[in-house]
Each structure stands twice: as structure tokens, then as C-alpha cells.
Chains A and B, each alone.
Chain A
Amino acid sequence: MPNNVIEVRQITKVFKDGTKALDDVSLDIVKNQVTVIIGPSGSGKSTLLRTLNLLEIPSSGQVFFEGTDLTSKGLDMNKHREKMGMVFQGFYLFPHLSVLDNLTVAPITVKKESPETAINRAKILLKQVGLSEKEQSYPNQLSGGQKQRIAIARALCMEPDVMLFDEPTSALDPEMIGEVLNVMRSLANQGMTMVVVTHEMGFAKEFGDHIVVMDQGKIIEEGTPEIIFNTPKNKRTQEFLRRVIEKA
């Protein structure tokens, strides 16, 4: 199993108000692959993604990251989180810090890197996401698409082994979705292990290696994009895809 970066084993998540967001979910995230989680809203996609780095603590079940059980007691979760980059729907850049400081605060604080090392890497990553000229800007001076590209660069600054994307394009104006997907595309081409919760079926078809379909807190079907999009077996998958394609 050395190829599995993350292994989710029978996790269940019940929120305080009693709603069951995840119901006995198991999943393998394979190294160097792009895993795309799709499904209707409220199906538990985001909750599942957030349990991968324990932003959401599962009510039961286990999450293994590179062989370590993240749910075991007394574990230093921060050590593992730094190897799992996360990109949020709402960007969450740090508004009081410049773009460059947004990128370097974690490497300097967590990894105790020297400012020079952190700044050098940050500059390389800013170039990669096409925003070198923004290094001195503040988040409120950026467009939504630019913010999300910076957020991706910020996560990459920690040199993560896996990148988690929680609906990265859902809060964007349509004309800005492309620039963010381009950055994700180039990451996928570099062989980054990615887990993406998205409504962008185009991205899922083109770049997904493995598609996971969720409904009502369960994984109802998973497989290659060809199988899921062309010959889905599950009725609810068929229904969901029909609705999504009608809308588009």
C-alpha cells in the first residue's frame, strides 16, 4: 500500500445538531493522482475533505496519512498538517499581511526557515501562479481569481505531499475560474497528489484520475472519469450527472 498517501477507514461524522454528514466512508487517495469528489450539495463532500487533515474530527473511524493514524490520541497533528496543503472556497488570505508575508509566515514560523529561504521559494511560486508583480500587494487589492492563486501558492510554500481543494472556484466570477483551473492543471501535470471537491465537471473529466461520487454522506460510486461520466452504474449518479449537464 505504499502508493496510498491517505487512507480513510469507515469514518462517520455526526454534527452536534445530530445531522449525519458522513456515513461509514472509506477511501484511498493514491500518490500522484488527482482524486475528484463530486456530488449534490449537502452530500458530505466538503466534510469528507476536511476530515482528511482533521479540520473536522470524525465521530468514528480512522484516517491514515502516510501510514500514521491521524485520529490516534496524543498525536501532534500540526506536524502532519504542514504536509497537507489546503485551499478553501473563501480563499482566507491573511488580510493584515502582504502577499509575500502570506506565503512566508508558515515556513518561517513552523519550519523555522530563514526569511531568505522562505522568500526565495515564495518568489518562485508566485512566478508559477503568474503573480510575481503582486508580492508587495495586500489581499484586498487583489481580484478573487488572484486571491485564490495566491492561496494555492501559500499552501505550496510548505512543500506539501498532498493538496486539498475545497470548491476552489465556487466563489469566483465565471471569468476568473479559468485562471485558477490553469494553476491546478499545471500542478496536476507536475504529479502533485490532489484531492479536489468541485462542481467543475470539465476539470473532473479532463484531469481527474479517480472520480468519487457522494450522496447523503456515502460514497455511492467511484472509478475512472470514463466509467463515471460515460457508463455510471448507480441510478443516483446518473441522475446527478444529468442535472449538472442540463444546468451547463
Chain B
Amino acid sequence: MNFSFLLDPYYQSLLLQGLFVTLVLALLAVFIGTLLALGLAIVRMSSFKPLKFIVVAYVEIIRGTPIVVQLIIMYSLLRLPVMLINNFDISPFIPGMFTLFINSSAYMSEVVRAGVASVDKGQSEAGRSLGLTQGQTFRKIILPQAIKNILPALGNEFVTLIKETSVLMYSGVAELTYQASMIKSETYSFMESYLVAAVLYFALTFPTSKLMAYLERRMKKADAK
């Protein structure tokens, strides 16, 4: 085993950059994915059948196909030219980000829907009986209560997304797995490069899931008092 590349500042910076890109991608995906999911869940709960059907189909198709395949399709669909920002080509990011957003929105929409459905129907009747509109009742009464049910799943989705960002190496996004493969081809330390990547992924996901479990316990306690 030869981990000497870890001492080289050049490789250190590659790994750190990769870690940073991975983290930013996962954060963006969970944030935007959840916003999209909220819209999807609202449409799904509405009484307008054709739109409802489209949303259900979208969710099922996205959840039923591998993310790598989605990425490749998205990549060839968009076929973006090189776009330089600060000498940095962002064109591979766009299909990658789209794929992540779409993916996380499909998974989160089910979670959001279940979270909203778990709020007692009486809560919305109480809101409506006070003269609040349907939208006001949703924003002020239902959603704040639903978020409590959604939050734990949101943490899980974040952990999942940290790992799933690795597929973006196929579209040339310099995230962690991509950097590991670069180091591998330069140092020929095949296993070592990926072992380091694995440790770094775990260093992100493990504390995140522990933190979420802690928050969940605290919320339960606050409920019980």
C-alpha cells in the first residue's frame, strides 16, 4: 500500500476540492430538490386529475430507473457547449445538477406528501373555519407541522445525495470520485486512491446521520413534554 500521495500538497488540494464540490452539489440538490418536491406534492394532492397523473408518472419513472442512466440521457439531451466562468468550464455541471435535482425531487415528493397527509384533517378544518384560505391554511398551519415529519427524511436524503453525487464523474464533474480517479491515473495507487475517497465520503455521511438522529430525538422530547 502506498499512501504517499496524501503528503503531496497538489493531491491534497485535489481531494479537498473534490470534497467541497461533492458537499455543495449535495446541499444544492437537497435544497432545490425539496422545493421542487413541495410543488410536486401540492399538485399530487390537488383534485386536478391530468396534472396529478403526470406527477405520479414522473415520480414513478424517476424512482424506477438508475441515476447513471438518467444522467447519460440528460447529458446527451442537453449537449451544452463549453461555458467558461472564471476559466472554469461549467457545462458538465448543468446536466449533472439537473439530474440530481430531478432525482431528489422525485424521492422527496413522496416524503413531503406523507408528511402533509400525517397532519390531522381537523387542523385544516380549524384553519378554514377561522376564515383562512386554503393556501393560508397550508402555509401557516399544515406545512409547519408537516416539516417536523419531513425533517428526518430530509437528512436521509442528504446522506443519500452525498453518495449519489459520485455518478457525476461520468459527466466530468470534478467531485470526489472524479478526483480519486485522477489521482489513481497519475500515481498508479489504484486501491489507495479510492480508499481515501471512501474514507472522505464516510467522514461526511456518518456525522450527518448522527446529527439527524440527535435532532430527531430532541424533537421527540420536545413533543413529549
Contacts and interface: CB of A to CB of B under 8 A. Distances in A.
A binds B: yes
B140 to A, nearest CB: 6
B122 to A, nearest CB: 4
Contacts of A53: 129
Determine the main DSSP class of A at the interface with B: mixed
Given A140-B223, A140-B225, A81 B128 contact: yes
A90 B122 contact: yes
Interface stretch (B65-73, B131-139, B171-179, B195-203): B131-139
Contacts of B122: 88, 90, 92
Q: Which of B120, B130, B144 has the most CB of A within 10 A?
A: B130
Given A95-B145, A105-B140, A82 B126 contact: no
B123 interface: yes
A158 B223 contact: no
Nearest to B130: A106
A92 B123 contact: yes
Contacts of B90: none
A230 interface: no
Given A90-B122, A109-B136, A140-B223, A55 B129 contact: yes
A36 B142 CA distance: 32
Determine the main DSSP class of B at the interface with A: helix
Interface of B: 120, 122-123, 125-133, 136, 140-141, 144-145, 148, 223, 225
Contacts of A229: none
Given A88-B122, A92-B123, A94-B126, A81 B225 contact: no
B131 A55 contact: no
A110 interface: yes
Contacts of A158: 130-131
A169 B14 CA distance: 68
Interface residues on A, range: 20 to 34
Given A79-B131, A96-B145, A106-B132, 7 more contacts: A53-B129, A81-B128, A94-B123, A105-B130, A109-B132, A110-B131, A140-B223
A20 to B, nearest CB: 22
B62 to A, nearest CB: 31
A92 B140 contact: no
Contacts of A92: 120, 122-123, 125-126
